[in-house]
Amino acid sequence: MEYQTRAQSSPAIDAGLRQYMLSVYNYMASGLALTGLVAYMLFQATAVMGPTGEIVGLTNLGVTLYTGPMMWVVALAPLGIVMYMSFGIRGMSASRAQTMFWVFAFLMGLSLSTIFLTYTGASIARVFFITASTFGAMSIYGYTTKRDLTNFGSFLFMGLIGIIIASIVNIFMQSPALYYGISILGVLIFVGLTAYDTQKIKNMYMAYDRLSEATKKRIDGLDGLNVYDYASTGRVDLEQDISNINHWVHPLVIRHPDTGRRALYVSPLITARIEGLSKTESDTLLEELFRYQEDDEIIFEHKWSAGDLVMMDNRSITHARRDFPAGEPRMLRRTMVEGVSIGP
């Protein structure tokens, strides 16, 4: 006998996703424009130009920024912002994260202003277009690929930390071989991170951000009572005694412990009510969430046959059976291959 199981999955690309990704790229382009503008304006304020356009010296501001202790502040300030955001982003509000993004773009402009003192405008433009083309190609790959890039994230991040440490060490060693090694590894790592982060941003939209801003604000911090009555094929009736039925209170929105990906943790078969709301408010909000979760565009549906093996990351997914006879036992073996059980 065959049964069907449904689970949230990445849907086909829709207009909402394209608009979402476009807003992300608009932020990136705006940040890049701010970085470039700050770098160029600071260069103009710190360099003394000769009659033919060559650099013949530094202004007082340039001497202060590029030859004294301030040189290290200018060079390492963006790294400090990156470290702060990396370790604190999960507890950071959206407005604060946005502010830190603009601060980072500004400080990056200060740090990159030195490239105008070292390289010609033509070489800077050439490298910019090569980098932009590479970024675009890998971003398209991350956006369209069916391959799950999640497992590469931790390795790429460790590689990034290694490059940062090696770069700081090489400031003092001045090793040409180490410099070229860092450059080659840096290109490979950032190419991989571009594809990984693009897919991650896309998945974040599918898991949570597809909800309206009003709905996200309403469910922020709310918990749901989940009743695991496997004999039932419909909504749980709280008029009955549930003391002998497994039940737990879980957040309506769960966050993946490794990727930070958010997902709804509600199901018409188990979520009975939202804690802290009246019955009317709870039922109305749950019906809205159930309609979202039952959207065919974000559902993967598997028709079970004897011997099937399905693997899923249960930490950011909801799953439920369909057309399952109430009086027939579930002949299904579930095996945990990684993680710690904290409930059903």
Q: pLDDT by residue (tens digit) across 109-138?
A: 998 888 888 888 888 888 888 888 999 999
**pTM across the whole model:** 0.58
Higher-scoring residue by pLDDT: 159, 330 = 159
**Residue that finishes a domain, picked among 176, 209, 242:** 209
Q: Is the pLDDT of residue 30 over 90?
A: yes
According to the model, what pLDDT value does residue 332 have?
Answer: 60
Q: Which domain holds residue 277?
A: 212-322
- Cβ(6)–Cβ(320) under 8 Å? yes
According to the model, what pLDDT value does residue 102 have?
Answer: 93
Q: What is the mean pLDDT of residues 2-14?
A: 43
Same domain for 186 and 98? yes
According to the model, what pLDDT value does residue 15 have?
Answer: 66
Same domain for 199 and 229? no
Same domain for 240 and 201? no
Give me the chain's average pLDDT, please.
79
**Residue that finishes a domain, picked among 192, 209, 226:** 209
- Cβ(230)–Cβ(330) under 8 Å? yes
DSSP 245: S
Same domain for 236 and 126? no
Same domain for 67 and 158? yes
Candidate from 38-42, 88-92, 113-117 with smallest mean pLDDT: 88-92
Q: pLDDT by residue (tens digit) across 67-87?
A: 878 888 888 888 888 888 877
Same domain for 221 and 204? no
According to the model, what pLDDT value does residue 56 have?
Answer: 79
Same domain for 169 and 115? yes
Same domain for 150 and 271? no
Same domain for 199 and 82? yes
Candidate from 33-47, 59-73, 108-122, 315-329 with smallest mean pLDDT: 315-329
- Cβ(262)–Cβ(228) under 8 Å? no
- The answer as to whether 327 is a domain residue is no
- The answer as to whether 263 is a domain residue is yes
Please identify which residue in the block is written with the tokens 């190609």: 137
Q: pLDDT by residue (tens digit) across 250-293?
A: 888 887 776 666 778 888 878 889 999 898 899 899 888 887 77
According to the model, what pLDDT value does residue 230 have?
Answer: 67
- In the structure, what pLDDT confidence band is assigned to residue 4 with cuts at 50, 70 and 90? very low
Same domain for 151 and 31? yes
Query: Alpha helices, DSSP H only, in the chain?
Result: 15-46, 60-67, 70-88, 94-112, 115-118, 121-144, 150-173, 176-204, 213-219, 279-293
Same domain for 20 and 126? yes
Selection from 32, 129, 111 nearest residue 71 by Cα:
111
Q: Is the pLDDT of residue 329 over 80?
A: no
According to the model, what pLDDT value does residue 242 have?
Answer: 79
- The answer as to whether 5 is a domain residue is no
Same domain for 53 and 162? yes
Higher-scoring residue by pLDDT: 244, 3 = 244
According to the model, what pLDDT value does residue 107 have?
Answer: 92
Report how many domains make up the chain.
2
**Residue that finishes a domain, picked among 182, 209, 236:** 209
According to the model, what pLDDT value does residue 11 have?
Answer: 39
